[in-house]
Chains A and B, each alone.
Chain A
Amino acid sequence: MTIPQISVFLENKAGQLADITHILSENQVNMRALNIAETADYGVLRLIVDDASKASAILLEHGFILTMTPVVGVAVPDTPGGLSKVLGVISDAEMDVEYMYSVFGQKDGQACMIFRVADTDGLAAVLDKAGIGTIGGEDLGLH
């Protein structure tokens, strides 16, 4: 089970991120997770929102460059060693994590982390086998 992520190109100049959050709020889009990877000159904004298709259509309309990427939401026990265990399982399966970040807030003593790997379905299967739960769109309140 994967979650759709919107990745947006950000030029490193004042107001770019503010523009995007403004556009999303104007259109009643709610953000569930956000992550930025950047160099000195540009960056990639990664977003999980409640309505990905609506948000991407709006951002495209406003001239942003973006791509949709499937990512896996993982329920990580909110205890010491919780993340370590998850990463150990992924590492044992010899899968490379391209990047990961966390979702705002937690639920039932579990934090939710977003993982991006080349083989998302494979990752879900590996985690399932190890008894680690994945989190679906509905868990995050996505439409």
Chain B
Amino acid sequence: MERYYQKEIETADREQILAWQNERLVKQVRHVWDNVPYYRKKMEEKGVAPEDIQSVEDLHKLPFLTKDDLREAYPYGLLATPLKNCVRIQSTSGTTGRRVVAFYTQHDIDLWEDCCARAITAAGGTDGDVCHVCYGYGLFTGGPGLNGGSHKVGCLTLPMSSGNTDRQLQFMVDLEATILCCTPSYAAFLAESIHERGLRDKIKLKAGIFGAEAWSEEMRQDIQDKLCIKAYDIYGLTETSGPGVAFECSEQTGMHINEDHFIAEIIDPDTGEVLPEGSKGELVFTAITKEAFPLLRYRTRDICILSREKCSCGRTHVKMSKPMGRSDDMLIVKGVNVFPSQIETVLLEQGYPANYQIIVDRVNNSDTIEVMVEMTPENFSDNLGKITEMEKGLVSALKAMLGIYAKVHLVAPKSITRSEGKAVRVIDKRKI
């Protein structure tokens, strides 16, 4: 028997969903026009006025927003309510150059947590469950989002945050956690640890909600087998609130987008044209219920396919496939967004050449990132200690910029291939 957190909404018919979207979109465009000069200017430049948007059919007339806009408007440029109405910020992790700060009113947090509650319920969660959340808490949206959703469902919530595997396992066993929320790679790592310590019989998990990074069907199978659970995907981004924009149901064939809050479009990343239903392209979101940070036509850069095929779970909201790639060069490493340009900035600041290569791999189900950097005459010394010190300086500067550890590999000059035209900056060896 399928359970829903908000049955009337999640199983509403198409007409009803469209009616909500039409009404909310018109209202949202007016709200943004009145309160966000940055976006209003974009609309004026495109010759669009709020009156031109009467329904979802008109959505394509609106200008796009990109991560560049968010950076340019940082920190308050896209805020649509007075700051005194805001109660929270969340931010993408540790990326000074590309920091995204999103604002929330209490109402925004309520709706976001509703979305997460829908995801937990779809994974079988009820008020009788113990929900173990080991996404990071803090600026990262993962912990706070699932924590709030878990409260709404009425689960006993374990706000574990990330790290300290011993403590994670102890609580998981002692408090008989039944639902695990974390990144898929951490789930795989925990599964390994449980296996190694012979704790499998002591674990009561039945479901896992895993997101914030790409994972394959094989990885899903592996986690499901090792933990004897059903593993559900969840999707979201800080710009649109956080996890819970879309979530998987028991059919495990894609993630239902919460269409009462977000309108999804698929566009051609090169031309910006809206593509017909079922096409593969870049996912664009319009947030129609957010008050503080209502992004219209935000380009996610994630490539995927939308499907309106009837779902056996009874939910009627459109499904998105797992992201199949990016339309920009952003990498997601350990759930953290990494742009090659950030690494380049650090290298130049630290006096290294901009000729570098980034190697991303997955070792024991955990992402690794290595930056190959060419040695220069200026940085070279006959004293090994001085080189090691410089290398350490580079590693900490990268950590400060990216928020994660990146290994630095100093290589001989001119040893990184210089290709004709576009340089091959990134080698992603992960099989996902």
Contact = CB atoms under 8 A, between A and B. Distances in A.
A37 to B, nearest CB: 4
Nearest to A66: B380
B388 interface: yes
Interface string B10-34: 0000000000000000000000000
A69 B377 contact: no
Nearest to B374: A65
Given A11-B411, A11-B412, A11-B415, A39 B377 contact: no
Nearest to A68: B382
Given A7-B382, A42-B410, A65 B376 contact: yes
B381 A7 contact: yes
B413 interface: yes
Interface in B369-405: 375-377, 380-385, 387-388
Contact of A39 (B382, B384, B412): B384
Interface in A36-57: 37-39, 41-44, 46
A106 B135 CA distance: 65
Nearest to A41: B409
Contacts of A99: 383-384
Contacts of B167: none
B414 interface: yes
Given A39-B388, A42-B375, A44-B387, A65 B410 contact: no
B412 A5 contact: no
A43 to B, nearest CB: 7
Interface string B89-102: 00000000000000
A13 to B, nearest CB: 8
A64 B410 CA distance: 14
A9 B375 contact: yes
Chain A interface SS verdict (over half): strand
A42 B413 CA distance: 12
A67 interface: yes
Interface string B406-431: 00011111110000000000000000
A65 B413 contact: yes
A16 interface: yes
Nearest to A43: B384
Interface in A1-56: 5, 7, 9-11, 16, 37-39, 41-44, 46
A7 B380 CA distance: 9
A63 B413 CA distance: 7
Given A7-B382, A11-B410, A42-B410, A65 B377 contact: yes
Nearest to A46: B382
Contacts of B415: 11
Contacts of A44: 381-384, 387
Contacts of B377: 65-67
B406 to A, nearest CB: 14
Interface in B60-114: none
Interface in A61-95: 63-67, 69
B412 A67 contact: no
A37 B413 CA distance: 19
A9 B380 contact: yes
Contacts of A39: 384, 388
Given A11-B415, A42-B375, A65-B377, A98 B410 contact: no
Please list the 4 inter-chain residue pairs (A to B) with the smallest Cβ-Cβ separation, ordered nearest first: A7-B382, A11-B412, A37-B384, A69-B382
13 contacts: A7-B380, A9-B410, A10-B412, A11-B375, A11-B411, A37-B384, A41-B409, A42-B411, A43-B384, A44-B381, A63-B413, A64-B412, A67-B377
Given A5-B382, A10-B412, 19 more contacts: A7-B380, A7-B381, A11-B411, A39-B384, A42-B410, A44-B384, A46-B382, A63-B413, A64-B413, A65-B377, A65-B380, A65-B413, A66-B380, A67-B377, A67-B380, A67-B381, A98-B383, A98-B385, A116-B383
